[in-house]
Amino acid sequence: NIPEGLTVFAFPVEHRRFVRTTNSLERVNKEIRRRTRVVGVFPNDSACLRLVSAVLMEIGEDWQIGKKYCFDKLLVNC
């Protein structure tokens, strides 16, 4: 698994800060867990899917307009 672990070094130095950790993914999972715990028991699978989809759409919008998730400058250099 060493080659897979060193994949981050294939990216340009400017990108490494964003791809070397899973903090963003962990934060998304934590937010989904937090929102689903409030509901407790879902009446069906589609209700759960609607809630999780709404949470992911909200997070996606925040990432698009948020300054700390702005990759525009990095993507131009690719």
Q: What tens digit of pLDDT does each residue of 52-77 get? A: 999 999 998 887 776 554 555 555 55
What are the DSSP E strand ranges found in 25-67? none
User: pTM for the complete prediction?
Assistant: 0.60
| Backbone φ and ψ of 15, nearest 5° | -85, -25
- Average pLDDT value for the chain: 82
Average pLDDT over residues 15-26: 77
> In a 3-state reduction of DSSP, which class is residue 6?
coil
Query: What is the H or E stretch that residue 19 is in?
Result: helix 13-19
Question: Kind and range of the H or E element at 64?
Answer: helix 45-65
- In a 10 Å sphere around its CB, with 0-12 CB exposed, 13-18 middle and 19+ buried, how is residue 9 labelled? exposed
